[in-house]
């Protein structure tokens, strides 16, 4: 009898405990872990992105971590091609793929398929971002709805990134992003996915973020960022958006104190976690919400949802 094919998807905000839970699930389900975090793909940045430790990778095989240079572009399209290949490989080896991370677009590409949109003009993108910054998200969202009424059904008013994406697509193609999305199909039957989202209480998450940031500095994150700036990475590349890069640079330049740098990183990480929650509420309604303060209880709850 053929072994049942399944893919475990584990999402949640930064610092919620995804990595630890993923290892326990991989041990239980004879699985291997596939990265779905757009910032953990980089070779040169490990501490700042909280990549799995050597101890973790010795316990369970991890894939798609630390393979791309900070000097190279990398898109959701690149990721989905690599992830699909890894999933098929693991099934062939009778392993359970466990896709773990906090990048909502990666999960959406996997479960719903990758939306194929013509390459948008860079000048138009810059123009739209300037407009959004100038008038603010509330006014920009209203402009978007006037331009593309269909956007109201799939873009949250608070989601600035997706609002700008929908606006640029409509402007460039004269076709709604919603229409492109409707024409998109996943490579898999949705029933194979076991979808879990760690819905950790905000107060506890904030404490965990503070501990995470403190650990980064104890582990030598300042030296890591020094090396990054010596590489003269193009300012337009996504690696510059890693939370902490800019803040530690300001500290190294003497513009802010070490304490101020830490506080800014904590603040921005909290804001990022909030955006991940917002994405989860808007795009992961079919996912099972899980949470327990005890990792063993969280693991048991996860196993019950998956089985």
pLDDT for the residue 217 = 98
Q: Does domain 204-274 have CATH number 1.10.287.890?
A: yes
Instruction: Calculate helix-pair angle for 202-218, 258-283, nearest 10 degrees.
Output: 140
3-state secondary structure labels for all residues of the chain: CCCCCCEEEEECCCCCCHHHHHHHHHHHHCEEEEECCCCCCECCCCCCCCCCCHHHHHHCCEECCCCECCCCCCCHHHHHHHHHHHHHHHHHCCCEEEEEECCHHHHHHHHHCCCCCCCCCHHHHHHHHHHHHHHHHHHHHHHHHHHCHHHHHCCCCCCHHHHHHHHHHHHHHCCCHHHHHHCCCCCCCHHHEEEEEECCCHHHHHHHHHHHHHHHHHCCHHHHHHHHHHCCCCCCCHHHHCCCHHHHHHHHCCCCCHHHHHHHHHHHHHHHHHHHHHHHHHHCCCCEEECCCCHHHHHHHHHHHHC
At residue 275, the pLDDT reads 92
Confidence (pLDDT) at 52: 95
Give just the sign of the alpha carbon dihedral 100, 167, 129, 275.
negative
pTM: 0.84
The residues spanned by each domain of the chain are 7-115+185-200+276-306, 122-182, 204-274
For 176, left (φ over 0), alpha (ψ -120 to 50), or beta? beta
pLDDT mean values, one per 10 residues, the chain (307 residues): 78 96 98 97 97 96 97 92 96 97 94 83 90 94 94 86 91 88 76 95 96 97 97 92 96 97 98 93 92 95 95
The reported pLDDT for the residue numbered 3 is: 58
pLDDT at 263: 98
Give the CATH class of 122-182.
mainly alpha
Is CATH 3.40.50.1100 what the domain over 7-115+185-200+276-306 is classified as, yes or no? no
């Amino acid at each position: 009898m053929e072994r049942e094919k399944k893919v475990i998807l584990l999402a949640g905000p930064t610092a919620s405990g995804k990595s630890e839970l993923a290892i326990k699930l991989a041990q239980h389900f004879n699985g291997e872990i596939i990265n779905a975090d757009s910032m953990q793909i980089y070779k040169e940045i490990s501490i700042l992105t909280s990549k799995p430790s050597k101890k973790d990778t010795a316990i369970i095989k991890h894939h798609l971590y630390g393979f791309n240079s900070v000097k190279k572009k990398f898109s959701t399209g690149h990721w989905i091609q690599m992830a699909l290949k890894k999933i098929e490989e693991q099934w062939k080896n009778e392993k359970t793929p466990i896709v773990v991370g906090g990048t909502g677009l990666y999960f959406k590409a996997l479960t719903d398929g990758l939306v194929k949109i013509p390459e948008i003009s860079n000048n138009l993108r810059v123009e739209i971002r300037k407009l959004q910054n100038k008038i603010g998200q509330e006014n920009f969202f209203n402009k978007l709805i006037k331009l593309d009424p269909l956007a109201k059904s799939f873009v949250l008013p608070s989601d600035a990134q997706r609002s700008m994406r929908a606006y640029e697509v409509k402007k460039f193609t004269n076709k709604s992003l919603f229409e492109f999305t409707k024409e998109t199909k996943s490579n898999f039957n949705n029933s194979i996915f076991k979808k879990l989202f760690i819905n950790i209480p905000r107060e506890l998450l904030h404490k965990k973020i503070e501990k995470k940031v403190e650990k980064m500095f104890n582990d030598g994150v300042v030296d890591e960022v020094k090396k990054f700036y010596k590489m003269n990475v193009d300012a337009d590349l996504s690696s510059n958006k890693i939370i902490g890069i800019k803040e530690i640079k300001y500290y190294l330049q003497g513009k802010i104190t070490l304490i101020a740098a830490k506080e800014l990183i904590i603040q921005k990480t909290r804001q990022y976690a909030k955006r991940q929650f917002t994405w989860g509420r808007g795009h992961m309604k079919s996912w099972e919400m899980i949470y327990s303060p005890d990792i063993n209880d969280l693991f048991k709850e996860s196993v019950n949802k998956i089985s």
